[in-house]
Amino acid sequence: MHHASPERDAWSSRIGFVLAAAGSAIGLGNIWRFPYVTGQNGGAAFVVLYIAFVLLIGTPVMVAEIAVGRHARLNPVGAFRKIAPKSLWYMVGFLGVATGIGILSYYSVIAGWTFGYFIKTVSGTFSSSITSDQSVIVFTNFVSNPIQAIFFLFVFIGLTTLVVMGGVSSGIERWVKILMPILFALLLILTIRSVTLNGAVKGLEFYLKPDFTKIHGSTVAMALGQALFSLSLGMGAMITYGSYISKQDNLVISAAWVCFFDTMIAIVAGFLIFPALFAMGLDPAGGPGLVFVVLPTMFADMPLGAFFGAGFFLLLTVAALTSTISLLEVTVAYMVDEKKWHRKSAALFMASLAFILGIPSALSFGGVDWLSKIPGIGLGFLDLMNISLGNYSLTIGAFLISVFVGYKWGIHAVRSEIEEYGNIFFFRKIWTFLIRFICPVAIFAIFVYIVVTKNYF
């Protein structure tokens, strides 16, 4: 039984929500972003921080967002406005909508590369053995071609728009159910190949043996940002998806499953990338090109490599698609609920904005010089977007959401939302402690620390 209005979409079952939310969470964040950020931040010690943040901050904020969404049955702006009318809390929703467009814009650039690499693999670019040096050249040529980068960005945003125009539940649930398990199986097979390469041990050491002296400056902020990004938290994606779930579901259990699946995939991706990377003698701090350089080199040199390679890039494209759908959906839900736009026009409008905003990101890998290294900042445009929105904006959002749920809306309201239909609120006391004290205080402390040390990225 759904209490939704006839126009409001709904997941068909608890498993439907878990699948869609896992589809949002699992994406490039796990397989592209996690390994390269881990590589840039020293390896195992970063992984320890990341896991701690998933447990102490990510999981409680996940419960909080879903509860807000299901209670209000609205987009983030509407949800804050409904729960706290005549206050400024709805601004947190706006921050989320803006962040959603911004992340969608650059995320789709990387997703476009993924799709491009699928086509490259199928068309035989990596069929004969290539060295890692050659793979770097293929990558650099590919991403610095402006027409190509913009073309793939367009294709990818177009795909996302088509799905969102049709409504969320019908497409995603079905795709995720079939394709995510295949992606996981493929990851495991490829990981076995990676860890058995000559010289893989050094990569395992880098990934598993923490050296806490490597933690300094922005490392902690990066680990927190990565945890939030990977779980799709801090911008209302889970508020939006939560607004489509049934009152009968135990949302604590659903939240826990999503966090568990997402973290598993990220950890396995590390086992896939680092052994192969060290076996090839590459630099773990190589940045956003990491997976696009390491994996094709590995595929080129393994039995049925073209088959596994094509499968991998195709499934990663789908995983990215189920994430961009949620990014676009946040902004579309806002336009539909609050501005009474039609779903189709809202999707077209927001996607066009994201496409235009994505162009400088698409040109920031050699296509246009000053975008590749912005004067005075030293980062490329995409990197800058990725850090400011994918880390800091989500972190600020998560801070505000935890304060809102812990103090404004209040623990009792959450409790009745969760227990209303006789469900058990597992770990209620621990959750209360985490959301009221640990989340806001830890996030605040991290901000003070990076501001004081001026170590932003």
Residue 27 found at the interface with ligand PFF (CB under 6 A)? yes
| Half-sphere exposure at residue 451, Cβ-oriented, CA atoms within 13 angstroms | 7
Contact predicate 205/286, CB 8 Å: no
User: Closer CB to ligand PFF, residue 163 or residue 300?
Assistant: 163
Q: Is 323 in the site for ligand PFF (CB under 6 A)?
A: yes
Nearest of 268, 249, 330, 339 to residue 19 by alpha carbon: 249
Nearer to ligand PFF, 159 or 300 (CB): 159
Compare residues 150 and 327 and give the one whose CB is closer to ligand PFF: 327
d(CA 345, CA 420): 36
Question: Which residues inside 102-121 make contact with ligand PFF, applying CB under 6 A?
Answer: 103
Give the count of residues interacting with ligand PFF (CB under 6 A): 15
Query: Should residue 229 be labelled a site residue for ligand PFF when binding is judged by CB under 6 A?
Result: yes
Smaller CB separation from ligand PFF, 33 or 81: 33
State in angstroms the smallest separation of the CB of 29 from ligand PFF. 2
Could you give the CA distance from residue 172 to residue 184 in angstroms, rounded to a whole number?
17
Helix, strand or coil, per DSSP, at residue 26 = coil
CA 428, 24, 455, 49 torsion-angle sign:
positive
Residue 24 binds ligand PFF, judged by CB under 6 A: yes
Closest CA to 331 of 315, 320, 346, 319: 346
- Of residues 221, 298, 327, 450, which one binds ligand PFF by CB under 6 A? 327
Instruction: Lay out the site mask for ligand PFF across 231-270 (x = CB under 6 A, - = otherwise).
Output: -x--x-x---------------------------------
Query: Cβ of residue 398: shortest distance to ligand PFF, in angstroms?
Result: 11
Q: Which stretch binds ligand PFF (CB under 6 A): 26-34, 147-155, 343-351, 403-411?
A: 26-34
Interface pick for ligand PFF out of 17, 20, 30, 317 (rule CB under 6 A): 30
Calculate the dihedral angle through the C-alpha atoms of 212, 218, 222, 223, rounding to the nearest 10 degrees: 30
- In angstroms, rounded to a whole number, what is the distance separating the alpha carbons of residues 334 and 327? 12
Instruction: Establish if 161 lies at the interface with ligand PFF (CB under 6 A).
Output: no
In contact, 9 and 169? CB cutoff 8 Å:
yes
Stretch that binds ligand PFF, among 22-30, 273-281, 339-347, 421-429 (CB under 6 A): 22-30
Q: DSSP secondary-structure letter at 438? A: I
Q: Are 21 and 254 in contact (CB under 8 A)?
A: yes
Nearest CA to 395 out of 233, 200, 194 is that of 233
Rule CB under 6 A: say whether 389 interacts with ligand PFF. no
Where do runs of H (alpha helix) occur along 13-131? 14-25, 28, 34-40, 44-53, 59-72, 76-83, 90-122
For the CB of residue 202, give the shortest distance to ligand PFF in the complex, in Å.
Answer: 27
Which CB, 103 or 318, lies closer to ligand PFF?
A: 103
Rounded distance between C-alpha atoms, residue 336 and residue 179, angstroms: 29
Identity of the residue, 25 or 251, whose beta carbon is nearer to ligand PFF in the bound complex:
25
Of 223 and 300, nearer to ligand PFF (C-beta) is 223
Is position 367 an interface residue for ligand PFF (rule: CB under 6 A)? no
Does residue 191 touch ligand PFF according to CB under 6 A?
A: no
- Residues in contact with ligand PFF by the rule CB under 6 A: 24-25, 27-30, 103, 229-230, 232, 235, 237, 323, 326-327
